[in-house]
Amino acid sequence: MEKKNRTFQELAPYLDRYMAYHTAINIMDWDANTTAPEEASEYTARAAGILSQERFTALINPQVKEIMQNLDEDGLDTVQKAILRRLKKEFEKSEAVPANEMGEFTELTSRSTNAWQKAKKEQDFSLYAPYLEKVIAYKKKLGGYSRKDGSRLYDALLDGYEESFHIEDLDRFFDKLKKEIIPLLRRIEEAEEIDDSFFYLDYDIEKQKEFNRYLAEYMGFDFKRGVIAESEHPFTTGWHNHDVRITTHYYKNNLPSAILSTIHEGGHALYEQGISDAFTQTLVGEGASCAMHESQSRFYENIIGRSEAFWEPLYPKLTEMFPEQLGQVSLRQFVRALNKVKADLIRTESDELTYCLHIMVRYELEKKMVEEEIPVEELPKLWNQKYEEYLGVKPGNDAEGIMQDVHWSMGDIGYFPSYALGNAFAAQIYHTMKKELPVDELLRQGKISEITAYLREHIHQYGASREPRELLKALTGEEFNADYYIDYLKEKFTQVYGL
Give the residue numbers marked as catalytic.
Answer: 265
Q: Which stretch binds Zn ion (CB under 5 A): 67-75, 201-209, 291-299, 425-433?
A: 291-299
Task: Compute the least distance from the CB of residue 240 to Zn ion, in Å.
Answer: 19
Measured from the Cβ of residue 75, the count of other Cβ atoms closer than 10 Å reads 8
Q: Distance between CA atoms of 400 and 457, rounded to whole angstroms? A: 42
Q: Determine the longest span between alpha carbons in the chain, in angstroms.
A: 80
Binding flags for Zn ion, 411-440, as an x/- string (CB under 5 A): ------------------------------
Pairing of strands 236-240, 243-248: antiparallel
Measured from the Cβ of residue 424, the count of other Cβ atoms closer than 10 Å reads 25
Helix (H, G, I), strand (E, B) or coil at 92: helix
Residues 390-409 that bind Zn ion (CB under 5 A): none
Q: Distance between CA atoms of 48 and 54, rounded to whole angstroms? A: 10
Q: Which is nearer to Zn ion, 297 or 384 (CB)?
A: 297
Q: Distance between CA atoms of 412 and 54, rounded to whole angstroms? A: 23
Q: Which of 279, 172, 258, 159 is nearest to 216 (CA)?
A: 258
| Total residues interacting with Zn ion, rule: CB under 5 A | 1
Q: Which of 18, 117, 461 is nearest to 275 (CA)?
A: 461
Task: Compute the least distance from the CB of residue 430 to Zn ion, in Å.
Answer: 17
Q: Which is nearer to Zn ion, 155 or 301 (CB)?
A: 301
Q: Which is nearer to Zn ion, 64 or 421 (CB)?
A: 421
Measured from the Cβ of residue 98, the count of other Cβ atoms closer than 10 Å reads 10
Q: Distance between CA atoms of 399 and 128, rounded to whole angstroms? A: 11
Q: Distance between CA atoms of 48 and 290, rounded to whole angstroms? A: 23
Task: Compute the least distance from the CB of residue 415 to Zn ion, in Å.
Answer: 12
Q: Which stretch binds Zn ion (CB under 5 A): 87-95, 215-223, 289-297, 473-481?
A: 289-297
Task: Compute the least distance from the CB of residue 165 to Zn ion, in Å.
Answer: 18
Measured from the Cβ of residue 29, the count of other Cβ atoms closer than 10 Å reads 17
Q: Which is nearer to Zn ion, 235 or 383 (CB)?
A: 235
Q: Which is nearer to Zn ion, 216 or 326 (CB)?
A: 216
Q: Which stretch binds Zn ion (CB under 5 A): 297-305, 309-317, 356-364, 397-405?
A: 297-305
Task: Compute the least distance from the CB of residue 294 to Zn ion, in Å.
Answer: 5
Q: Which stretch binds Zn ion (CB under 5 A): 4-12, 69-77, 170-178, 292-300?
A: 292-300
Q: Distance between CA atoms of 320 and 211, rounded to whole angstroms? A: 11
Query: If binding is defined by CB under 5 A, does position 350 make contact with Zn ion?
Result: no
Task: Compute the least distance from the CB of residue 270 to Zn ion, in Å.
Answer: 12
Q: Distance between CA atoms of 12 and 19, rounded to whole angstroms? A: 10
Which strand (E) or helix (H) includes residue 244?
strand 243-248
Pinpoint the alpha helices (H) of 220-322: 255-273, 290-298, 308-311, 315-321
Q: Distance between CA atoms of 83 and 444, rounded to whole angstroms? A: 40
Task: Compute the least distance from the CB of residue 100 to Zn ion, in Å.
Answer: 33
Q: Which of 297, 350, 404, 465 binds Zn ion (CB under 5 A)?
A: 297
Q: Which is nearer to Zn ion, 87 or 356 (CB)?
A: 356
Q: Give how far Cα 2 sits from Cα of 5, 72, 145, 464, Å.
A: 9, 11, 32, 33
Q: Which is nearer to Zn ion, 297 or 339 (CB)?
A: 297
Q: Which is nearer to Zn ion, 287 or 380 (CB)?
A: 287
Q: Which stretch binds Zn ion (CB under 5 A): 272-280, 290-298, 312-320, 426-434?
A: 290-298
Task: Compute the least distance from the CB of residue 438 to Zn ion, in Å.
Answer: 27
Residue whose beta carbon is closest to Zn ion: 297
Q: Tell me the sheet residues that pair with 240.
A: 243
Q: Distance between CA atoms of 350 and 343, rounded to whole angstroms? A: 7
Q: Which stretch binds Zn ion (CB under 5 A): 21-29, 294-302, 311-319, 328-336?
A: 294-302
CB 225 within 8 A of CB 280: no
Binding site for Zn ion (CB under 5 A): 297
